[in-house]
Structure 1
């Protein structure tokens, strides 16, 4: 092919290649709804005040973190007020001062209060009710709307606890990991695996199973110190000569095909070079990427098999050289020459 270029003055030819960089997505701000409030690590407890207050068995042993409600006849200073047992097992009561209660039964503590109140009331009457029980924590880590440490409220399942903290962020992965300490038993599913050191077992749970099934086996009853973690959603990236450059979620899939990714990206631009596309694949434990050559034209024509894109792959579609795409057309190239802008008309002909 013969190329003729007619230029009336000094010719300066510059070729600029612009590569659009993908910008990492920033998680959206949390919605205005109020998720369940998490407690400080030092005060992990379960509030049962909303339930009917039943008298706790007298042999229950009080412990730090419990919250008690005292009803004392003719002693308004301490009556009908909740008090938290501190880390040393004491409560600070008006008039009576600092009273030891941690490590003793409810019945014994009532007797202690009766003895103390006889200095101020002729015939004291006292009842003690536990309105908030101290509890072991569970941990929600990663792309939850409200990650943090939460008290384990009795027999709670994973779905119940996730709902109580607001669920997942929109950008969260659809795979959840449960880690359970060995002392609380192994996770009772065949797909659970032990950690390398044997101190815990782990289970990967697909959100689709929790969402689509009735009473799924993966909706396990949580145990103390369970860790529920979720990463950001795994992505593939499409850039270059496509209609919509961007990052696309794999969702529950392990991979998507090149054709699927191009469909999500709105298809190819007219100037796309379909013979020299590339997949840039991360090399594990390095910052480098391996380059995989791809002949899109052969794939689209059915001569080659479609290729999978794995998490964090980049599909790059380069621009054509222009010799074929712009044949018979006129391009206007604007270049700076000696402080001015010179317009060069370059005509490509056969």
Structure 2
């Protein structure tokens, strides 16, 4: 087929071909110099296709999102990822089915790239993905540097400057503050203006700091490492031009109200004082009873936790708070421990003592029956020997039946009786725990006239133990 015949056939197909290519054709009222010939073509780029001797096939088109360009007669040809010369070869091969030895040239006229400079980790020029926005380009550049002013970014677009506030976008997610980019856009990220302030006192890294304009007191304290354990957050002071500005940072959310967390000015000094230390005692039924040094503002619950917590089985209703002036207050310790915000969780004063004693019944033992001075006796140790218990009760009477004594014990809600031969105990033949009494135990001796295992005597011992429990509590 001659070149003239091919051109005649091309004329018949031109209308369909132009329709296929019209959506990619770009009018260019302001021609610009082509980009370097070794640049790689990307989606969104504008390229100039020239077919020598075929002006109706020569045009400027935009590379589609899938990397193709429309060509009359042949449909779409993929050019993304190719250099202009390689793209010309691909188009030439496609046209060779309709033209005899076509000569094709491709120039990259407008690359779909944007640049970002200033306070980002990797400033430079990047290929834009479809519908990329300002924050996408920032992320492609590695993100902001720490001192970047995210609220004062400038977008340069064909001689115009557009203000971009990506700090507002990060705070609200409002897309209107994160504009969509176009080829050739340039983002300029400036450095935040800094102030010199000092943070002194009870912070981890006291000293002079550079903080951004608009930084608040809490921001500077966090940059100084945060509070120490002894920091008095309620009495922070900002020194400014000779005046003192009190700041209370002990509130749950001090940043919510500007008056509680004011903005800093150049030359300010933030001073965090130390809490006054108190001497308090936690005694009785806690794991580590002792005297403690605690910061001012310590509560009852915090002091009990410092003492290791409550021992198992402790009677919280016996807790008392004794002040230095000898005044004693009843303490609702259960509520204080269960609800740290309750009124029962009192703030301690210097010299206070939290006392949680054991119930008296748990520190007594009984010796009843055929003894000279039976009764209940205060224990000075955790356990006493049966021999010592008999001595405390004045010893057995002459007609006591030593071979058939018994020990009545309380084990939770159960009451048990253990027979014991006091003759063997007194001779030292029976030793160990079986020959001792613990808190709440009762040693019972009967007389020889009535069997020790009689129903009357056992019921009497149980009745005495029940009376003991009722009198002193469990």
Considering the TM-score relative to the shorter chain, is it more than 0.5? no
More RCO (CA 8 Å, sep 6+): 1
Higher helix proportion: 2
* TM-score (ref. length: structure 1): 0.31
* TM-score (ref. length: structure 2): 0.25
Which structure has the larger Rg? 2
